[in-house]
Amino acid sequence: MKSAFTTQTRTGLLFSLVLVMSLVSNAQAQQADDTEEVPASQQAASINEGKLPLDELRSFADVFNHIRLSYVEEIDDKTLLENAIRGMLSGLDPHSSYLDAKSFDDLQVSTSGEFGGLGLEVGLENGYVKVISPIDDTPAEKAGIESGDLIIQLDNKPVKGMSLNEAVKLMRGKKGSDIELTIVREGIRQPFDVTVTRDIIKVVSVRSKTLEEGFGYVRIAQFQSKTGSEFRKAIEKLKTKDTPMKGLVVDLRNNPGGILQSSVEVADTLLEEGLIVYTEGRLNDSHSEYSATPNDLTDGAPVVVLINGGSASASEIVAGALQDHHRAVIMGTDSFGKGSVQTVVPLSEKHAIKLTTARYFTPNGRSIQAQGIVPDIVVERAKIETIKTRERITEADLQGHLSSTNGDESDREKRQDKAKDGLFNSDNQLYEALNLLKGLNILGLNEKATQVANKPEHQEVPKAL
């Protein structure tokens, strides 16, 4: 037994006892002061206002020393204290955590858009790793990982009991190496295995294309430091002098969020004025408001925003702001519901903590946390098949029919063939969004035409009497 008490152990034990006993002494002093100034019935309440609880500190000291002296393997004080910090943070909520040197570096790199791994945004749920969303064009997406999947094993190692950082470390690795994920998915009875090959993840934040003449599409995969400026460039590219923008689809499906300021810039691009988002927390500096500046880059063109269960955090800020201002129609399914603000507090050059410090609220005061954004129009992801109808004879089939004065009679067949291809079969949600934009554009044109038709050609100037 004597060999266990080396000089280093005695020194470490002395340091630990001094540290803990100083906390206990402070707690006793506070308790004594409280006893003199505060009635006994209010002392419990004062503890909740920041006073150190004496009994719990004694328990901490007892547990700390039992582990140091009795655990099967010797553990240094530094490791024990770091583990205590991890435990404090992990017990708060799924998004607060202790960042060691590698985790801190990974966080800084991920916001720039390039990092190693599988391409998953994950959190913890009931002790298991939950997929918030796979990132576009990454090994995870190509392997068929879906938002809402629960990962219960990593290379046959149970996830239950791991911290989120420990699970993430197992999923990281060299490019080209494989990892086997055991997944539980809603609607499937038995867990199943998926092998994913690690790669360098390069996230392209913004992609854009023209769906049809005048109708643009912008996909935002993740909110990074340059997303706001890239979003503006994408819209400028979609707009031309010859083809004004008739409508825009902003795709935020499976977008796990990212940098708050970037989400504000995206919403600002589509708004002329008004509040975009505000935050509230316990500290004064956690209260902030972000408002739009003039100049809607689309010139008021109709907008549809697509969301789903993988749309989280910054994505929900954009969707909530545009919904509250009636600037866009939100379509798809309920979003994830992450409405909390995480602040990264550096402890040193290599260590930091990520701490939840506030909640997001939409302009109308709705909390996103654990509620999410409910779409204006619910459209589930589905496979759509055309029902073949019996061939019918039309006027065009009758011998000797009169020709149309509208031009080529084959235009009708071309429109029908076009509808059967592309979005109709591959992405029903985007197909519905495009159809809605077309309808809004038609109604807008009709409204303008009515206003012009009803406008008097000549207005009589009042005569001075």
pLDDT the model gives residue 21 = 53
pLDDT the model gives residue 419 = 45
Alpha-helix residue ranges (DSSP H) falling in 325-380: none
The Cα 122–Cα 171 span in angstroms is 11
The Cα 350–Cα 353 span in angstroms is 11
Q: What residue ranges define each of the domains in the chain, with the CATH number in brackets?
A: 9-75 (no CATH), 114-202 (2.30.42.10), 206-342+357-378 (3.90.226.10)
**Among 308, 328, 429, which Cα is nearest to 373's?**
308
The residues with which 129 forms a beta bridge, in sequence order, are: 124, 151
Token readout for 96 is: 């607060």
Residue 191 is classified by DSSP as -
pLDDT the model gives residue 37 = 44
Token readout for 413 is: 């067949």
pLDDT the model gives residue 402 = 82
Look-up: residue for tokens 């037994």? Answer: 1
The residues with which 181 forms a beta bridge, in sequence order, are: 154, 194
Residues 6+ apart with CB under 8 A from 353: 85, 89, 96, 97, 98, 99, 344, 345, 347
pLDDT the model gives residue 1 = 42
The type of residue at 454 is N
**Three-state DSSP class for residue 137:** coil
The residues with which 290 forms a beta bridge, in sequence order, are: 277
Token readout for 309 is: 């269960």
Residues 6+ apart with CB under 8 A from 58: 24
Residues 6+ apart with CB under 8 A from 187: none
Is 312:256 a contact under the CB 8 Å cutoff? yes
Is 148:185 a contact under the CB 8 Å cutoff? yes
pLDDT digit string (tens) for 230-252? 999 999 999 877 778 999 999 99
Which residues of the chain register pLDDT less than 50?
1-14, 17, 32-47, 416-417, 419-420, 458-465
Residues 6+ apart with CB under 8 A from 224: 111, 112, 113, 203, 205, 258, 259, 262
pLDDT digit string (tens) for 330-353? 999 999 999 999 988 999 888 899
- What is the DSSP annotation of 249-306? EEE-TT---B-HHHHHHHHHHH-SSSEEEEEEESSGGG-EEEE--S--TTTT--EEEE
- List residues with catalytic annotation: 313, 324, 338
The Cβ of residue 282 has, within 10 Å, a number of other Cβ atoms equal to 8
Query: What does DSSP say about strands 247-251 and 215-220: parallel, antiparallel, or unpaired?
Result: parallel
**Among 51, 56, 65, which Cα is nearest to 18's?**
65
Token readout for 107 is: 């966080």
Q: How crowded is the C-beta side of 143, counted as CA atoms within 13 Å?
A: 26
